[in-house]
Amino acid sequence: MRIAFYAPLKSPTHETPSGDRRVGRLLMDALHLAGHAVELASDFRSFEGTGNETQHVLIRDAGCAIANGLVAQWRSSAPLERPELWFTYHLYYKAPDWIGPHVSKALGIPYVVAEASYAAKRAGGPWTLGHIAARDAIQAADLLLCPTHDDVAGLQQVAATDTQVVRLPPFLDPMPYRAAAQTRVARRASLSSAIGLPAREPWLVVVAMMRSGDKLASYRLLAQALERLADMAWQMLVVGDGSARTEIQALLESAAPGRTHFLGECAADELAAIYAASDICIWPSVNEAYGMALLEAQAAGIPVVSCAVRGVPDVVCDGRTGLLAAPGDAAGLADLARELINDPARRTAMGQAAAQFVAGERSTGEAARQLNRAFADLQAYTPATAPLGSGTPA
């Protein structure tokens, strides 16, 4: 199938690394692996983060103009050059999809959305325009793909009655992490030598961007947990960078003086090696949608200690591949980390289970199979060939 792909929040080609960019690329990889021809339809970013209505109107009009242009382009092209399905990744009130619903309706093709969210509390607020557009796009979708159980329940309340709501759990390509894990001893020795880490002490690792908001709140909670582990022998590796690095570095150095090592932003192959060389991935996940870093750590064969927030239980199997504290519970987070620090055999068993979990249930190949099953289940679609307008979607 020929698929037009679009990510209104952040294009897979965006220059700034992030979880959104990563997941967008993974979805395109899975669609390719499933046998589809995938084209990035647009890199237009619809994000408006301040609630400025004037700016939102300008973004809407620009998006609708792009939609009109795409429809004109594809209507004038040969049938075999037109998309057969539109696929949008991650829309919500700050980054609605002004393009996909228009194009899908005009060309008479199915409209599929992965990771949509709808917040009823945004009605009547500064993002009203985006809130309405997100709702309309959700209701226009033929298929909604949701990464977590919470997403499924929430979208079923707002989706149209004939819209299919299907769970597509977070996934990744486990191969680079499995390869790194096979050379764990050498990678650990190399990293120990490079930055002076005691190889016999357990290594905790955290991988997250350093910015204000939920990330900073997570680092604060992490610092509180680390303070409760001061009586134990361990080292902390921190991978990430961003505008709040100075504040975060001060926080963690105060909580764990002399044993926190900041590695900055790392390339994907370096990151896989760091996970594989470590013993426990720890991250509080304040308001985390689900956490790709938690999935990466498990793919490399190490257990996770986190909090049971939102979609985290969808990527960490509590008691099997990691341990989950209550949301926001620094003491609970520290207690669980203490359990695994004190029990190397349990760490190893959980790490092996984690790697098997990702390879068997959260791989790109499994996602490709699930995508094809979901596409096959789409109900017959009735083409709509009305010309596009330039205003907001109906």
pLDDT reported for residue 179: 96
Class of domain 2-171+364-376: alpha beta
- CA atoms of 12 and 175, how far apart (whole Å): 21
Query: pTM of the full predicted structure?
Result: 0.88
pLDDT reported for residue 17: 77
Average pLDDT, stretch 367-375? 95
CB 290 within 8 A of CB 249: no
Query: Mind listing the pLDDT tens digit for each residue in 86-142?
Result: 999 999 999 999 999 999 999 999 999 999 988 888 888 899 999 999 999 999 999
CB 92 within 8 A of CB 127: no
CB 2 within 8 A of CB 84: yes
pLDDT reported for residue 119: 82
- CA atoms of 248 and 231, how far apart (whole Å): 22
pLDDT reported for residue 161: 87
CB 101 within 8 A of CB 70: no
CB 250 within 8 A of CB 218: no
Q: What does DSSP say about strands 85-91 and 2-6: parallel, antiparallel, or unpaired?
A: parallel
pLDDT reported for residue 289: 86
Query: Mind listing the pLDDT tens digit for each residue in 265-316?
Result: 998 889 999 999 999 999 999 998 889 999 999 999 999 999 999 999 999 9
For tokens 């008479």, what's the residue? 108
The pair of three-digit structure tokens given for residue 239, joined into one six-digit string: 């991978």
Residue 384 has pLDDT above 80, yes or no: no
Residue 391 has pLDDT above 50, yes or no: no
Q: Where are the beta strands (DSSP E) in 243-285?
A: 260-264, 280-282
Bridge partners, residue 266, by sequence: none
CATH superfamily of the 175-361 domain:
Glycogen Phosphorylase B; (3.40.50.2000)
CB 158 within 8 A of CB 139: yes
Average pLDDT, stretch 144-162? 88
Measured distance between the N- and C-terminal CA atoms of the chain, rounded to whole angstroms: 27
Residue 387 has pLDDT above 50, yes or no: no
The pair of three-digit structure tokens given for residue 102, joined into one six-digit string: 């228009």
Other Cβ atoms less than 10 A from the Cβ of 191: the count is 22
Bridge partners, residue 239, by sequence: 207, 264
Query: Mind listing the pLDDT tens digit for each residue in 118-130?
Result: 888 888 889 999 9
pLDDT reported for residue 156: 87
pLDDT reported for residue 182: 94
Dihedral of alpha carbons 74, 78, 81, 83, sign? positive
- CA atoms of 237 and 208, how far apart (whole Å): 11
pLDDT reported for residue 379: 56
pLDDT reported for residue 149: 87
CB 39 within 8 A of CB 68: no
CB 320 within 8 A of CB 353: yes
Does 2-171+364-376 match 175-361 in CATH topology? Answer: yes
- CA atoms of 66 and 6, how far apart (whole Å): 12
pLDDT reported for residue 16: 82
Residue 390 has pLDDT above 70, yes or no: no
Average pLDDT, stretch 41-60? 95
Query: Mind listing the pLDDT tens digit for each residue in 56-80?
Result: 999 999 999 999 999 999 999 999 9
Residue 388 has pLDDT above 70, yes or no: no
Domain definitions of the chain by residue range: 2-171+364-376, 175-361
What's the mean pLDDT when you consider all of the chain?
92
Q: With pLDDT > 90 as the criterion, what percentage of the chain qualifies? A: 84
The pair of three-digit structure tokens given for residue 172, joined into one six-digit string: 């990744």
389 pLDDT band, cuts 50/70/90, is very low
Query: Mind listing the pLDDT tens digit for each residue in 312-370?
Result: 999 999 999 999 999 999 999 999 999 999 999 999 999 999 999 999 999 999 999 99
148 alpha carbon, distance to own chain's centre: 11
Burial of 279 (0-12, 13-18, 19+ CB in 10 A): buried
- CA atoms of 38 and 218, how far apart (whole Å): 36
